[in-house]
């Protein structure tokens, strides 16, 4: 019985390895993961998941993003079919952004990831601190959020 369980574990590990190999060999897959996994794209997608937003409101909710970076990221997300853009000819021009159906389908995995981070950040901070102490690292990120601070909800990520 133990041999069967061990064989099953080996088979599962080999299947996961094959999946990872496919990922490593797929340039398009890596490009898409790079896009949706980058700091600003995730923040923008989660914020637009609450409701469509005008450019300045999206910039305000995505604290720390420059106008240039927001413009660039929105263009990439629009090109990938995750975000729509609606320009209304007013003075000044009004531009609103929202998620396409494809973009909305990305919300559940991103929300799960944010929830995982919020649920495990205390343990990760403790691990970082322990690692830094044991390795004598002094050149580390000093702006780690306190474990006692309340986590942000997925709908309010970046809105500080």
pLDDT at 42: 92
We report the CATH number of the domain holding residue 101 as: 1.10.10.10
Residue 144 within any structural domain of the chain: no
Conformational region of residue 8, where left means phi above 0, alpha means psi within -120 to 50, and beta covers everything else: alpha
Query: What's the chain's average pLDDT?
Result: 83
Residues 71 and 12 in one domain: no
pTM over 0.85: no
What is the per-residue pLDDT across 56-65, written as a single tens digit (0 to 9) for each? 999 999 889 9
The parent domain of residue 29 ranges over 1-37
Q: Is 125 a residue whose pLDDT tops 70?
A: yes
What are the angstrom distances between the C-alpha of 119 and each of 67, 112, 115, 140, 154? 31, 10, 6, 22, 12
Residues 27 and 84 in one domain: no
Residues 21 and 56 in one domain: no
Residue 12 within any structural domain of the chain: yes
Residues 46 and 119 in one domain: yes
Q: Are 157 and 43 in contact (CB under 8 A)?
A: yes
* Overall number of domains in the chain: 2
Residue 143 within any structural domain of the chain: no
Residue 110 within any structural domain of the chain: yes
What is the per-residue pLDDT across 93-109, written as a single tens digit (0 to 9) for each? 899 999 999 999 999 99
Residues 133 and 60 in one domain: yes
Residues 10 and 30 in one domain: yes
Residues 106 and 123 in one domain: yes
Residues 104 and 156 in one domain: yes
CB atoms within 10 A of CB 15: 10
Q: Are 56 and 97 in contact (CB under 8 A)?
A: no
Mean pLDDT of 43-55: 94
pLDDT at 10: 75
Residue 142 within any structural domain of the chain: no
């Amino acid at each position: 019985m133990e041999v069967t369980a061990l064989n099953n574990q080996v088979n599962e590990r080999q299947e996961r390895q094959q999946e990872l190999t496919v990922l490593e060999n797929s340039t398009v897959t890596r490009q898409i993961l790079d896009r949706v996994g980058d700091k600003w794209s995730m923040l923008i997608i989660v914020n637009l998941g609450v409701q469509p937003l005008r450019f300045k409101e999206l910039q305000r909710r995505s604290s720390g993003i420059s106008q240039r970076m927001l413009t660039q990221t929105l263009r990439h997300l629009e090109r990938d079919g995750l975000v729509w853009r609606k320009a209304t000819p007013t003075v000044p021009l009004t531009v609103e952004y929202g998620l396409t159906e494809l973009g909305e389908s990305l919300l559940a995995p991103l929300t799960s990831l944010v929830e995982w981070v919020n649920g495990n950040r205390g343990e990760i901070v403790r691990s970082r601190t322990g690692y830094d102490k044991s390795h004598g690292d002094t050149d580390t990120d000093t702006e780690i959020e306190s474990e006692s601070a309340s986590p942000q909800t997925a709908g309010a990520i970046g809105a500080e």
